[in-house]
Structure 1
Amino acid sequence: MFSSFMVNAWIVGSIVAIVAGCVGFFVVLRGSSFAAHSLPLGAFPGAAAATLLGVNQIFGLIAFAALGVIGISQLSRRGRHEVATALSLVTLLGLGTLLLSRTTEYSQEVFGLLFGEVLGISTSAVLPVAALGAVSIAAILLLFRPLLLNALSPDLGEARGVRAGGIEFLFLAVLALATAMALPVVGALLVFSLMIGPASAARSFVDRPLPALFCAVAISLATVWAAIALAYVTDWPVGFFVGLFGAISYGLGRLRAWGRVAPRVRLAKA
Structure 2
Amino acid sequence: MIQNFINGLYEFHFLQNALITAIMIGIVSGAVGCFIILRGMSLMGDAISHAVLPGVALSYLLGINFFIGAIFFGLLSSVVITFIKNNSTIKGDTAIGITFSSFLALGVILIGVANSSTDLFHILFGNILAVQDLDKWLTLGVSTLVLALILLFFKELLITSFDPTMAKAIGMNVSFYHYLLMILLTLVSVTAMQSVGTILIVALLITPAATAYLYTNSLKRMMILSSTLGAISSVLGLFIGYSFNIAAGSSIVLTSAVLFVGGFLTSPKQDFIRKWIKKSDNQT
Other-structure match for 1:118: 128
Other-structure match for 2:103: 92
SS at match of 1:189: helix
Task: State the distance in 1 between where 2:172 and 2:91 align.
Answer: 21
Cα deviations by residue, 1:86-126 (Å, 9 ceiling, x for unpaired): 2221221232133122132x221122112111111011212
Other-structure match for 1:12: 21
Task: State the distance in 2 between where 1:155 and 1:63 align.
Answer: 30
Cα deviations by residue, 1:6-31 (Å, 9 ceiling, x for unpaired): 11111111111111011011111111
Q: Which moved more, 1:4-13 or 1:16-25?
A: 4-13
Task: State the distance in 2 between where 1:242 and 1:81 align.
Answer: 30
Q: What's the offset of the Cα at 1:205?
A: 1.1
SS at match of 2:160: helix
Task: State the distance in 2 between where 1:140 and 1:51 align.
Answer: 31
1:1-270 to 2 correspondence within 5 Å? 1-2=8-9, 3=11, 4-78=13-87, 79-104=90-115, 106-255=116-265, 256=267, 257-259=269-271
Name the amino acid aligned to 1:147. L
- Measured on the aligned residues, the alpha-carbon RMSD in Å equals 1.9
Name the amino acid aligned to 2:57. A
Task: State the distance in 2 between where 1:253 and 1:159 align.
Answer: 37
Over the matched positions of the two proteins, sequence identity in percent amounts to 25
Q: What's the offset of the Cα at 1:260?
A: 7.1
Q: What's the offset of the Cα at 1:198?
A: 0.7
Q: What's the offset of the Cα at 1:201?
A: 0.7
Which is greater in Rg?
A: 2
Q: Which moved more, 1:164-173 or 1:184-193?
A: 164-173
Name the amino acid aligned to 2:270. W
- The answer (yes or no) to whether the contact 1:194–1:220 under 8 Å persists in 2 is yes
| TM-score, length-scaled by structure 2 | 0.87
Cα deviations by residue, 1:42-64 (Å, 9 ceiling, x for unpaired): 10221110111111122121121
Task: State the distance in 1 between where 2:111 and 2:76 align.
Answer: 18
Other-structure match for 2:4: none
- The answer (yes or no) to whether the contact 2:238–2:249 under 8 Å persists in 1 is no
Task: State the distance in 2 between where 1:237 and 1:247 align.
Answer: 16
Cα deviations by residue, 1:131-151 (Å, 9 ceiling, x for unpaired): 211221122222221221122
Cα deviations by residue, 1:168-191 (Å, 9 ceiling, x for unpaired): 221111101111111122111111
Task: State the distance in 2 between where 1:155 and 1:43 align.
Answer: 31
